[in-house]
Chains A and B, each alone.
Chain A
Amino acid sequence: MPIHNLGYRPWKEKLTRPSSRWRNISASGVRLAQKSLWVKRAVFAAWLPVLYWGLGFFVIGQAMEGKLQLNDGGNRPVVQKAFDAVEKQLKKVNPMLVPTANRLAVASILRRQFRKVPKVEQLASALESGDEMLARNRIWCWLLMTFLRYPQGILILFLIGTIAPALIARDIRSKAFLLYFSRPIGKLDYLLGKFFIPATFIMLVTTLPAMALYMFGILMSPDLSVFWSTWDVPVRILIGSAFLILPTVSLALMFSSLTQETRFASFGWFAFFTLGHGAWWAIVFSTAIKKGMVNSQDLPMVMEEPEVKRWGLLSLYNNIGEAQSWVFGFSSWQEVMPSMIVLLAITVVSLSITYRQISSPLRV
């Protein structure tokens, strides 16, 4: 009987593509991060604003449905009757949401209730214009822009602060570099792999819910032709998410690569965000003082002043907001170019420093 050789046998089949290496690093990092109860809670909580925004999609969408004539005697169209029923239900939830189905009234409500939100004037104008396709596109873009900017933009501050600081710092401390780089894994593979760990979670709480909102908007529309006036929205969501992910994750990874202790990486992340945004707020107030506009009604207008916007470059949060405003078509390229340059600089410098850090020789 032949004796089988059960010793070491080299792999003779095909190896997977090189891209599988960074994907494996990401996948294992994501699996590790999602074991945390806090991360699970944060991801769950990130979907709660979807309900509120979904309502906004529904309500404003209904306002678009030719509800120009009200109280026409007893001869209301069927849609109007249906909308009245919905309006009655929604009034119980929040009367301010649906006081009227008239687009003009909705526009004025937007101006009044959301005056602090950037670009609301453009939105209200689009609504008043009577061009339904334009108005729908603008409304959806505006809703998604505010969704990405406000609840999710603040949530990712904490999400990245939870996940990212340990990614490279822990590898430096435990000398896990040796485990990675004694295999055919390049530094770029390592960097990409680590990059996509927080990026995955950010996409889970921004891109995915935003796409879900878009789909919800399509489903709540009268017919599929709505897609043709809003086909660009998913593309904008993807690009807007990219503007959210690239500079934030790069920065967080840079801080993680600069230290062995995760607390310093966390501190760097929070400090960068806080000091920049705090400085901007200080400028906002000083300009408001100068113009005698120190009250909560006028502050949003002060924020749009050119000198304030110049200082807004200090705030990473504002820069991302400007970029997203351009992505969703509410600002021109000239207006947002300085912010884009800042974001590009942050991304390039952060990634360069991170790459340099992981290329440094290690003492065992």
Chain B
Amino acid sequence: MIHWLRGAQATFVFELRRALTWNRFLVAVGLAIFPPVMLNVVVRTAFVSNSRIAADVSQYSEFAMIFLVALVCILSLLLWATPNVQSELEGKTWNFIAVRPGARVASYLGKYFLAVAISMSVSCTALAGCILVANSYQGLENPLKTLGSLAAIYTMACVVYAAIFSAIGTVFIKRAMVVAAGFVIGVESFLSLVPAVVSKVTMSYHLRSIGLEWIGYFLPYTTELEYNMTFGKPWPVWMHIMCIAIMTIVSLTVGMIVITQRQYVTSDQT
């Protein structure tokens, strides 16, 4: 285990060095500033001086912030977490890694940590920008608390979705990004809104529930009462966090098992 973690650290540093290019930096910056810019446009479009509407704007700007940052968070994870094996096979560098002791798992974990780190940075930067924008329009009640809560939620989102996407990347080598995108749309978006037990299997439901507990009701349609009647009252926060942690561990374990059991062959060898 320690050997894996040391190897993961080496992979993290190596891959980070590879990732530090102007092109990728610009992509990260673009993703990070997209939500604050869009939120600025959104709030300006919706903002009125009428105090009744201002209350809606306040609620909506929270939703818009969460929605827009979620977009960039998922996109960032799609880029960094899914092609963990594919990039090595495509670059024909898989063999160099696979013939090192424990390196399959170490490389897998190292790339996972990097995906989490980069996506977290992008998400938190975007969040900070959004809080600044939202606060400049209507003065949030407690901007630091909102930022802290949302940052924690997005950190959890990065941790669990990176694990899921990494596991997908070990199974579907060639179509990892497409399958992961399909997973986000089909499972995490649609299934999480189904008012049944199946929604509780999705991570989106748990993250949403934690958000409802920590920052209050932020969904722009239906009232809190209607929402609770449809989905049931949220569980205690620790239970949601535990579900997320279990899913993370299970996904990482599945990924590690697949990557050690599977016979990856570069195309030259078949």
- Touch test A–B (CB under 8 Å): yes
Chain A residues within CB distance 8 Å of chain B: 36, 38, 158, 161-162, 173, 261-264, 266-267, 270-271, 274-275, 278-279, 281-283, 285-290, 292, 294-296, 307, 311
- Confirm or deny: B195 has a beta carbon within 8 angstroms of a beta carbon on chain A: no
Known: A261-B87, A289-B57. A282 touches B75 (CB 8 A): no
Known: A264-B79, A266-B177, A294-B221. A289 touches B87 (CB 8 A): no
Contact B86 A263 (CB under 8 A): yes
- Closest CB-CB distance, A79 to chain B, in whole Å? 41
Q: Which residues of A contact B71 (CB under 8 A)?
A: 274-275, 278
Contact B34 A270 (CB under 8 A): no
Q: How far is the CA of A261 from the CA of B78 in the complex (A)?
A: 14
Q: Is the interface of B mostly helix, strand, loop or mixed?
A: helix
Contact A263 B79 (CB under 8 A): yes
Pick from B61-69, B203-211, B229-237 the stretch touching chain A.
B61-69
Q: Which residues of A contact B90 (CB under 8 A)?
A: 173, 261-262
Known: A267-B78, A290-B53. A278 touches B45 (CB 8 A): no
Q: Which residues of B contact A282 (CB under 8 A)?
A: 38-39, 41-42, 64, 67-68
User: Which of B42, B57, B177 meets A263, CB within 8 Å?
Assistant: B177
Q: Which residues of A contact B200 (CB under 8 A)?
A: none
Q: Which residues of A contact B82 (CB under 8 A)?
A: 263
Q: Which 7 A-B pairs have the closest CB atoms?
A: A286-B46, A263-B83, A286-B42, A267-B79, A266-B177, A278-B71, A286-B45
Q: How far is the CA of A263 from the CA of B57 in the complex (A)?
A: 38
Contact A275 B34 (CB under 8 A): yes
Q: Which residues of B contact A295 (CB under 8 A)?
A: 221
Known: A261-B87, A282-B38. A289 touches B46 (CB 8 A): yes
Q: How far is the CA of A285 from the CA of B42 in the complex (A)?
A: 8
Q: Is the interface of A mostly helix, strand, loop or mixed?
A: helix
Contact B42 A283 (CB under 8 A): yes
Q: Which residues of A contact B53 (CB under 8 A)?
A: 289-290, 292
Instruction: Tell me the residues in window 172-220 of chain B with beta carbons closer than 8 Å to chain A beta carbons.
Output: 174-175, 177-178, 181-182, 220
User: Which of A278, A289, A296 meets B68, CB within 8 Å?
Assistant: A278
Contact A38 B68 (CB under 8 A): no
Known: A275-B34, A285-B63. A162 touches B68 (CB 8 A): no
- Confirm or deny: B48 has a beta carbon within 8 angstroms of a beta carbon on chain A: yes
Q: How far is the CA of A342 from the CA of B182 in the complex (A)?
A: 27
Interface centre among A266, A287, A288, A311 (most CB of B within 10 A): A266
Q: How far is the CA of A173 from the CA of B43 in the complex (A)?
A: 44
- Closest CB-CB distance, B248 to chain A, in whole Å? 23
Contact B174 A263 (CB under 8 A): no
13 A/B residue pairs, CB under 8 Å, sorted by A = A261-B91, A262-B90, A263-B79, A263-B177, A266-B178, A270-B177, A283-B42, A285-B42, A285-B64, A287-B46, A289-B46, A294-B221, A295-B221
Contact B38 A279 (CB under 8 A): yes
Contact B60 A286 (CB under 8 A): yes
Q: How far is the CA of A264 from the CA of B48 in the complex (A)?
A: 41
Closest to A165 in B: B177
Q: How far is the CA of A237 from the CA of B148 in the complex (A)?
A: 52
Contact A38 B45 (CB under 8 A): no
Contact A263 B87 (CB under 8 A): yes
Contact B178 A289 (CB under 8 A): no
Closest to A159 in B: B178
- Closest CB-CB distance, A205 to chain B, in whole Å? 15
Contact B87 A267 (CB under 8 A): no
Contact A271 B75 (CB under 8 A): yes
Q: Which residues of B contact A296 (CB under 8 A)?
A: 221
Q: How far is the CA of A158 from the CA of B181 in the complex (A)?
A: 9
User: Which of B38, B60, B83, B91 meets A289, CB within 8 Å?
Assistant: B60
Contact A38 B46 (CB under 8 A): no
- Closest CB-CB distance, A281 to chain B, in whole Å? 8
Instruction: Tell me the residues in window 25-43 of chain B with beta carbons closer than 8 Å to chain A beta carbons.
Output: 31, 34, 38-39, 41-43
